[in-house]
Structure 1
Amino acid sequence: MQAKTGDPVAVGGGLTIDPMFDLRTSFEHVDQPSTDADALTVRLRSGIEIASDTGFSFLVEGEGTLGIINDYNSTTNGKVTRSVVADPQNVELNRLQLRYARKDFGSVTVGRQRINIDDQRFVGSVSWRQNEQTFDAVSASVTALKPLTLEGTYSISQRTIFGVDAGPRTAFDGEFILLGAGLEVGPVKLKGFTYLLDYDAGEPVALTSSATYGGRATAKLPLADRFALDLAGSYAVQKDYKATANTFSVDYLAGSVGASLAGFGLTAGYEKLGADGLGNRFQTPLATLHKFNGWADLFLSTPPAGLEDKYVSVSKAVKLFGGIKLGAAYHDFSSDIGSVKYGSEIDGELSFKLSLFDAGVKYANYDADAFGVDTEKLWFRLGYSF
C-alpha cells in the first residue's frame, strides 16, 4: 500500500517517525453595540512523534499564530477599544511529552500535553481557538480491567490560550487532580469523576479552588433501521477546597435527548450551573467553554446568579466529498436564582472535509435581555493538516 502524506515513516529497529502539520487560517468578525472587531489570523502547529514498537513514544510540537488583519483585541495587543478575539500573535512550545501505551494495559503520559476528558465540559484543549490549552501533567489510563476503565491526571500548570506574552495569564499554576472511572454496559456508558483544583495563591482571584464530584451517563439506543435515540445526563456538586476563602456548595445538572435518522439529528437539552446567592456559582475553568452555552461566548464565566440554558439543535450530515455537516441551534438563557431572562441565541454552521483540507462557516447571534450585550459573530476557516 502506498504511504499517504503524514503517515509514520519506518526508520528501522522498530522505530517510526510521524510528522505532524496543522495549518489553519481563521477570519472572525464581531459586532457589538459600542465595539467591533475583525481578525484574520494564520496558525501553524507542527512537530514530530518518534514511536517504538515497545509502546514508548516521544512527541514535540510547536505552535505559532500570526495576525494578518489586526483590528481586534487579542487580550495582549492593547487594542481595548475593539471587541475581544482571543487569538493573540504567539510562538510557543505547545506539547512536549513522553508516553507509554499498550492496548492490553492503557497508557501513561508525562510532560506538556493535550487533555480532553469526555465531552470537554470540565476539561478540554479549547482547540476552537488558534492557540490551544495544554497542561504540564502526568496522566494515566487503565483499560486492562474492561468493562471498567480508570483514568487519572496530576497537573501543576494550565497553559492557557492567551500565549506566552500574556503575563500572569500565560499559565495558571497549582495542583490539579483529575480522576475518573467508567463502565460500559451494552449501549450505556457510566462515568464517575472527581476534579480537585487547587490554584496557587498568586493566581487571579477569579480562579477559585474547588472540589467537584459527579457522574455522567450516556446511551445510544438503536430503535429501527438508521433510527436511534441518544441520551445523556450529568450531575455534579462543587464545593470549597483547600485554601478557598469561603465555604460553598453549588450544583450542576445537564440532560439531553436526541434522535437521529438517516443523517438527520434533532436534540433538546437543558443545562444548569447553579449558584447559592452569596456570589458562589458552579464554574468549569479547565473546560472547552466554546462548545457550551452558545457560540457567541457570552457565558465563558458563570454569572453570579447562575445559569440555565434550554436549547434545541438540528443537524444534517451529507456523505459527499469527505463529509459535509450542517447544523443550527437555539438557546434560551436565564439565571438559576430568580429565573431572570438573560437573553437568547441562534447559532448555525456549515463545514466540510476534503482529503487533508477542511473548511467551515459559523455564525452566532446573541440577543441580550438582562445579561451582556447584543453580540453577532461570524467565522470563516480553512485548514490543512496531517
Structure 2
Amino acid sequence: MKINNKNNHRYIPLLALLSGVAVTPVHAEQASPKTAEENKAKAFVDFRLRFESVDQDNALKDAEGLTLRTLLHYQTKQFNGFSAVVEFEDSRNAMGVEDYNDTIGNNTEYSVIADPNTTELDQGFVQYKGKGFTAKLGRQVITFDGHRYVGHVGWRQDKQTFDAASVNYKSDALSLSYAYLDKRNRIFAEEKDIDSKDHLLNASYSTSFGKFVAYGYLLEMDNGTDNALDTYGASFDGKTKLFSKPVSYRAEIATQTMESGNSEYDAEYANVEAGIGLGKFTVKLGFESLGSDDGDYGFSTPLATLHKFNGWSDQFLSTPAQGLDDLYVSVSGKLLSGSVMLAYHDFSANEEANGVDDLGDEINISYATKFMKNFNAGIKFANYSAGDNEAGKVDTDKVWIWVGARF
C-alpha cells in the first residue's frame, strides 16, 4: 500500500488523450435525407420470463426465483437530426416463486438472485445525429469494447444505464467517444444507484488486419469522500485465415490506480486470446489477468457487464485483493436451430497472499434458440468448485431457464 499525496496530476493522462482526439475536427452536420421507412417512429415491447436457482455449499438456503421482466421502448422519428427515446422497465416476481435474497434486504436467509422487484425509467434521452456525429443527453445505455469496462449488464432483469452526456464521432475507420456520467443506475433497483463524476474516453481505429483501441476511464463516486479509480489501456483484435480456417486473435493491457482517502493502489490488467473455426464450431483459448498490488488490492471494473467474464456463477463480481488469473477455453457454435456454448475456467490468485492461491474452477454450459419470429428461449448452467478455504468461496451450482418475446 502506498500513501497518496493528493492527485493533482490525475487528469494529465486524460488531457493527453483528449489532445489527440482534438486534432480530428468534429462537424455536427445534418445527416443526408433518410427514406420515409428509416425515419419512422419505432416502438416495441419485450418480455422475459426467467427461472433461476442457486445451490451453495454453505449455511444459506437454496434460492429459487421466477421473475418477469417487461420492457417498453419508444423512439420518435427524427426532425432536423433530433429525436428522443423513452424506455421503461419493470421486473416482478411471478407465480409466488420468490425464495431468494434480492440484494435490497428481502429474504436474506437465502442465496442471492440479483433481480429485485422494480419499476424504472430505464432510458430517457434526446439525441442529435449528423454526418458521423451523435450526441445524447439523458438516461442512456453506454457500452464499450465488449462490456469489459463499461456495459449494460443486460443479463439481469434490471439492466444498468447511466445519466450522462455522450458524444461519438465516426468517420470511416476512426471512432471517437466521450461520456460524462453523473449517475450509475445499477441492477439493484433505485436504492443502490450511485451518484458519480465519471469520465469515459474511447478511441478506435480499424484496419484490414484488426482494430486498435485506446481508452481512459476515470471514475469517481460523488459521495463526499476523496476517491478515484483511473484506468488507461489499449487493445487489438482481429481475424484472418490459417489453412483455410478462420482464426481470431486479441491482446489487451491496462493500468489502474485506485485512490481512497490517503491510500493509493496500483494494479495491471492483461488479456490474450486466440480462436479457430472448425466447421460450425469455434474453439477459443485465453488468459485474463486482473492484477494485484502486493495482495492488498485487485484490479476492478465496477461498470462492466461482469456476468460475461470469469464464469457465470458470478464468484468474482469483486476482484479478490490477491487479484485473479483466469485460464479459459470455450467451444461455441450452431446446434439444431440454436446456439450452444461450453466453457471451462481455471482460477488462481495473481499474487498469492494470506493463504490464497487456488481460487477454484468452473464449468459453464448454455443453449439458446429463437422460434416463431418473435420468441426466444434458453437454458444455462454454471458449476463452480471452490479452491483454497482461505478464499472464502464455496461450491456453487446455478441454473437458468427462460422464454422471451418481442413485438
The TM-score, its normalising length taken from structure 1, stands at 0.89
Describe how 1:273-292 pairs up with structure 2 within 5 A: 273-277=290-294, 279-292=296-309
Q: CA deviation at 1:173?
A: 1.1
Q: CA deviation at 1:14?
A: 9.2
Q: CA deviation at 1:130?
A: 0.2
How many angstroms apart in 2 are the aligned matches of 1:67 and 1:98? 32
Structure 1 residue runs of 5 or longer lacking an equivalent are 1-9
Q: CA deviation at 1:77?
A: 4.5
Question: What is the one-letter code of the residue matched to 1:344?
Answer: D
Describe how 1:246-325 pairs up with structure 2 within 5 A: 246-277=263-294, 279-318=296-335, 321=337, 324-325=338-339
2:368 aligns with 351
How many angstroms apart in 1 are the aligned matches of 2:277 and 2:79? 40
How many angstroms apart in 2 are the aligned matches of 1:352 and 1:14? 28
Question: What is the one-letter code of the residue matched to 2:160?
Answer: Q
Instruction: Give the secondary structure class of the aligned counterpart of 2:46.
Output: strand
How many angstroms apart in 1 are the aligned matches of 2:374 and 2:240? 33
Give deviations 1:221-275, integer Å, cap 9, x for gaps: 13355x211101110000135x653122110011111111322110011011111
Give the one of 185, 201, 204 matched to 1:179. 201
1:98 aligns with 126
1:87 aligns with 115
Question: Does 2:37 match 1:19?
Answer: no
1:7 aligns with none
Describe how 1:330-349 pairs up with structure 2 within 5 A: 330-338=344-352, 340-349=357-366
Give deviations 1:194-241, integer Å, cap 9, x for gaps: 0000112358x9xx521100001001113355x211101110000135
Q: CA deviation at 1:385?
A: 1.6
How many angstroms apart in 2 are the aligned matches of 1:228 and 1:292? 24
C-alpha contact 1:209 1:244 (8 A) present in aligned 2: no
Per the alignment, do residues 330 and 55 of structure 1 end up closer, same or farther by CA in structure 2, a change over 3 Å counting?
same
2:229 aligns with 210
Question: Does 2:402 match 1:384?
Answer: no
C-alpha contact 1:115 1:125 (8 A) present in aligned 2: yes
1:54 aligns with 80
Structure 2 residue runs of 5 or longer lacking an equivalent are 1-33
C-alpha contact 2:298 2:322 (8 A) present in aligned 1: yes
Q: CA deviation at 1:279?
A: 2.1
Question: How much is the aligned-residue C-alpha RMSD, in angstroms?
Answer: 2.0
C-alpha contact 1:364 1:377 (8 A) present in aligned 2: yes
How many angstroms apart in 1 are the aligned matches of 2:232 and 2:72? 36
C-alpha contact 2:295 2:323 (8 A) present in aligned 1: no
Number of residue-to-residue matches in the alignment: 362
Describe how 1:144-155 pairs up with structure 2 within 5 A: 144=171, 146-155=172-181
Describe how 1:207-246 pairs up with structure 2 within 5 A: 209-223=228-242, 225=244, 227-240=245-258, 244-246=261-263
The TM-score, its normalising length taken from structure 2, stands at 0.85
Give the one of 140, 143, 161 matched to 1:116. 143
Instruction: Give the secondary structure class of the aligned counterpart of 2:264.
Output: coil
2:222 aligns with 200
Stretch moving more, 277-286 or 127-136:
277-286
Question: What is the one-letter code of the residue matched to 1:195?
Answer: Y
Per the alignment, do residues 50 and 312 of structure 1 end up closer, same or farther by CA in structure 2, a change over 3 Å counting?
same
How many angstroms apart in 1 are the aligned matches of 2:283 and 2:305? 23
How many angstroms apart in 1 are the aligned matches of 2:159 and 2:406? 15
Question: Does 2:184 match 1:158?
Answer: yes
